């Protein structure tokens, strides 16, 4: 779970850059500033620079780039917005980073079928802005304004997952450039299919190790008639989690429900200039007709009261909702900046919701014993939560503490039949955890990787060692 150690890298072959520029022109850069930008992680991993960065504009260009890299045996790493958490896009073996962010066209919207097709570089917020006038929206919201291609590659999730699912459920079809340089489409637009292997699901979450996703066909949803947000504070973590679990168990279709512990609320108040009680707090959002939303709010308010909840503050004003969710989306930065000069290390696990209160309570007790600030927040409606450590990377003691805590958190989640990561992916940081979780199944993953990418050129060093 530590930062990546330098990996052996071969120098680029003679003439490779000239061949690259024959494909991509001046959109291939050796400049250190651009390479450094593409060698950074959102969290604690050390920078690792690619040899060259290229900005692709079409699937055809990606095909040509891949074929050139195959012949030259040069690693190739897809890159979107750079918001991944586990070092998923760091070029640890050097090579070519292919930035897909300029492939940002919305290719088609089929309003009557509730789906659309976009290029990999389209941003989540960009897509929803485009769809708004058609009465549609794309619900997957990981917080960051990530690219759709990156969200597919890491099997992203987020605040709406409790009602609308994750990227696994949201994707109908992918266009992928494979490690042998072919341009394939994994499925059609039909809502279901029994045609052959499910290549779509194979590519979702593969973190660029099995193919480079260039286009995505997505399920869309109608914008709800009414949307209301609510905030409620609790004296205990147990009361907050029980409110969520009981609401789900009686069938309340919560659109979003986020938990922020008292430490995280203190950070959010300071960062976002809010005045909420600095107690464990739930942020809710309810979707539906006006009457149905009001019914949901009343039901959950009653459950919260039975579990020690305080004032149930709710609003259907768009500006109030935007302010609330902006604060939630900036919670990571709020937590890290509670400590000047700190660097964030954020981790996540997911457990069955029946074990969630136990897992979070034990984790908070663990965190209260350490010497550095740490907060808990999470998408508790599906059993997923995060821990954010604000640490001094120059402190060997803090690094050892965080590594030990991270291991204990993962071990606790696995003992509850959970997973070592609900949405961040494996990347560099959780490769040992993947083996603990799935055992010999990881060898089956290696067999797939070797079959599709025998030269280990697609984002090498990620998910598991080959």
Domain boundary among 178, 194, 222: 222
> Do the domain assignments include residue 449?
no
**In what helix (H) or strand (E) does residue 248 lie, and over which residues does it extend?**
helix 237-249
> Do the domain assignments include residue 441?
no
Asked whether residue 429 falls in the same domain as residue 341, the answer is yes
The residue ranges of the chain whose pLDDT is under 50 are: 1-3
Task: Return the bridge partners of 218, or none.
Answer: 116, 171
HSE-CB of 205 using CA atoms within 13 angstroms: 19
Asked whether residue 184 falls in the same domain as residue 282, the answer is no
> Do the domain assignments include residue 11?
no
pLDDT at res. 397: 93
- The Cα–Cα gap between 249 and 38 comes to 44
What tokens does 118 get?
Answer: 């976009």
Name the domain count of the chain: 4
Residue 53 belongs to a domain with what CATH number?
Answer: 3.30.43.10
Asked whether residue 289 falls in the same domain as residue 305, the answer is yes
Is residue 345 within 8 Å of 389, Cβ to Cβ?
A: yes
What tokens does 249 get?
Answer: 């168990």
Is residue 463 within 8 Å of 431, Cβ to Cβ?
A: yes
Q: Per residue in 346-360, is it b (16+ CB within 10 Å) or e — as a string? A: bbbbbbebebbbebb
Is residue 320 within 8 Å of 274, Cβ to Cβ?
A: no
SS3 54: strand
pLDDT at res. 122: 98
> Do the domain assignments include residue 362?
yes
Residue 320 belongs to a domain with what CATH number?
Answer: 3.30.70.2190
Task: Using DSSP bridges, classify how beta strands 52-55 and 76-79 pair: parallel, antiparallel or unpaired.
Answer: unpaired
Asked whether residue 187 falls in the same domain as residue 175, the answer is yes
Asked whether residue 71 falls in the same domain as residue 138, the answer is no
Domain that holds residue 52: 16-102
- The Cα–Cα gap between 169 and 187 comes to 14
In whole angstroms, what separates CA 460 from the centre of its chain? 20
SS3 109: strand
In whole angstroms, what separates CA 186 from the centre of its chain? 22
- The Cα–Cα gap between 219 and 36 comes to 35
> Do the domain assignments include residue 337?
yes
Helix axes 16-24, 59-72, angle to 10 degrees: 170
Residue 173 belongs to a domain with what CATH number?
Answer: 3.30.465.10
> Do the domain assignments include residue 242?
yes
Is residue 363 within 8 Å of 387, Cβ to Cβ?
A: yes
Asked whether residue 248 falls in the same domain as residue 277, the answer is yes
With tokens 């890299």, the residue in question is: 69
Task: Using DSSP bridges, classify how beta strands 256-260 and 280-288 pair: parallel, antiparallel or unpaired.
Answer: antiparallel
Asked whether residue 111 falls in the same domain as residue 214, the answer is yes
Asked whether residue 123 falls in the same domain as residue 207, the answer is yes
Is residue 325 within 8 Å of 331, Cβ to Cβ?
A: no
Asked whether residue 125 falls in the same domain as residue 78, the answer is no
Does the reported pTM lie above 0.85? yes
> Do the domain assignments include residue 236?
yes
What tokens does 91 get?
Answer: 């070029």
What tokens does 6 get?
Answer: 């330098």
pLDDT at res. 1: 41
- The Cα–Cα gap between 445 and 450 comes to 9
> Do the domain assignments include residue 465?
no
What tokens does 19 get?
Answer: 């061949």
């Amino acid at each position: 779970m530590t930062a990546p150690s330098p990996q052996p890298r071969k120098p680029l072959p003679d003439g490779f850059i000239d061949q690259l520029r024959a494909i991509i022109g001046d959109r291939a850069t050796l400049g250190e500033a651009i390479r450094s930008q593409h060698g950074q992680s959102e969290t604690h991993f050390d920078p690792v620079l690619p040899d060259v960065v290229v900005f692709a504009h079409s699937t055809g260009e990606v095909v040509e780039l891949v074929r050139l890299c195959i012949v030259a045996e040069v690693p190739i790493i897809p890159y979107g917005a750079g918001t991944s958490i586990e070092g998923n896009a760091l070029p640890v073996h050097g090579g070519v980073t292919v930035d897909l962010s300029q492939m940002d066209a919305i290719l088609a919207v089929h309003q009557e079928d509730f789906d659309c097709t976009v290029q990999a570089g389209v941003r989540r917020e960009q897509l929803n802005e485009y769809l708004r006038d058609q009465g549609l929206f794309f619900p997957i919201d990981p917080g960051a304004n990530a690219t759709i291609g990156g969200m597919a590659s890491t099997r992203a999730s987020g605040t709406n997952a409790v009602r609308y699912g994750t990227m696994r459920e949201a994707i109908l079809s992918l266009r992928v450039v494979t490690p042998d340089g072919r341009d394939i489409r994994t499925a059609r637009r039909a809502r279901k299919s029994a045609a052959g292997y499910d290549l779509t699901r194979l590519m979702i979450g593969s973190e660029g190790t099995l193919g480079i996703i260039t286009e995505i066909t997505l399920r869309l949803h109608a914008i709800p008639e009414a949307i209301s947000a609510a905030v409620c504070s609790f004296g205990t973590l147990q009361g907050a989690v029980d409110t969520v679990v009981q609401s789900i168990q009686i069938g309340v279709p919560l659109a979003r429900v986020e938990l922020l512990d008292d430490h995280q609320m203190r950070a959010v108040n300071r960062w976002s200039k809010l005045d909420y009680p600095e107690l464990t707090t739930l942020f809710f959002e309810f979707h539906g007709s006006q009457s149905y939303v009001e019914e949901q709010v009343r039901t959950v308010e009653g459950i919260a009261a039975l579990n020690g909840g305080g004032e149930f503050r709710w609003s259907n004003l768009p500006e109030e909702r935007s302010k609330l969710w902006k604060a939630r989306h900036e919670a990571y930065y709020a937590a890290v900046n509670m400590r000047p000069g700190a660097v964030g290390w954020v981790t996540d696990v997911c457990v069955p919701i029946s074990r969630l209160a136990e897992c979070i309570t034990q984790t908070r007790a663990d965190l209260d014993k350490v010497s550095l600030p740490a907060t808990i927040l999470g998408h508790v409606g599906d059993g997923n939560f995060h821990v954010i450590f604000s640490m001094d990377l120059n402190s060997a003691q803090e690094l050892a503490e965080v590594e030990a805590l991270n291991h204990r958190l993962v071990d606790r989640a696995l003992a509850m039949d959970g997973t070592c990561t609900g949405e961040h992916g494996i990347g560099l940081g959780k490769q040992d955890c993947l083996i603990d979780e799935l055992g010999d199944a990881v060898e089956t993953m290696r067999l797939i990787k070797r079959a599709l990418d025998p030269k280990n050129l697609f984002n090498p060093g990620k998910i598991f060692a080959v």
